[in-house]
Amino acid sequence: MFRFALTMGLLPLLLPSDVSRPVPAVPDVIPQLIGQWEGEGELFGQPATFSMVWEWELDQRFVRLTFENRLIENGQPRTVLRAIAHYRVTDSDQLHGTWFDTRGEILELKATATDSTLVTHWFGETEQGRTTYHMTGEDTVEVHDDVLGNEGWRPFGKASYRQAEGD
């Protein structure tokens, strides 16, 4: 009996991942975001550049976002923030994930996706905000960042991105 229970407990670990569960259907905006993007815009009212890379992870069950923003000071870019986020892909328009950044922050992510837009609400110990990714063309995306304060939502970042060559 013990061997049977042990075998049955280990069996899912030995089977290929595609046997255990089908890959979920994903909202249309997610495949559109996959790739490397470079952007220009504003961060805290100052000129800035941005980069983001969206990648499938673990048999397309997760999406990874790698992000960096850079303020332009005296004509030179200065990195302000680097981050990595993982979103779990499900069979609905709702995605959940976690964000880790160079400030040491860990933020809970709750996102809603449509055909052309991903709206991510993020929650941390000291901040709450939202980021909206809106596909404006086949290789262009607009991103707006807002933080929730005592007086409501306040924008702090916006950028226009183009997909990098070769993606």
Tens digits of residue pLDDT in 96-144: 999 999 999 999 999 999 999 999 999 999 999 999 999 999 999 999 9
pLDDT range class, residue 50, cuts 50, 70, 90: very high
Identify the CATH number of the domain in which residue 158 sits. 2.40.128.20
Is the pLDDT reported for residue 11 higher than 50? Answer: no
Q: Across the chain, how many H-helices and E-strands are there?
A: 3, 10
**Domain annotation covers residue 63:** yes
Confidence (pLDDT) at 109: 98
Task: Give me the number of domains the chain comprises.
Answer: 1
pLDDT range class, residue 76, cuts 50, 70, 90: confident
- CA distances (Å), 35 to each of 84, 86, 112, 117, 149, in order? 15, 15, 20, 16, 33
Q: What is the mean pLDDT of residues 42-57?
A: 96
**Domain annotation covers residue 23:** no
**Domain annotation covers residue 6:** no
Q: What is the mean pLDDT of residues 7-28?
A: 59
13 vs 123, more confident: 123
**Domain annotation covers residue 21:** no
- 73 phi and psi, to 5 degrees? -125, 125
Domain of 105 in residue numbering reads as 34-163
pTM of this structure? 0.84
pLDDT range class, residue 6, cuts 50, 70, 90: very low
**Domain annotation covers residue 83:** yes
**Domain annotation covers residue 25:** no
**Domain annotation covers residue 5:** no
**Domain annotation covers residue 1:** no
Q: Using an 8 Å Cβ cutoff, are 121 and 109 in contact?
A: yes
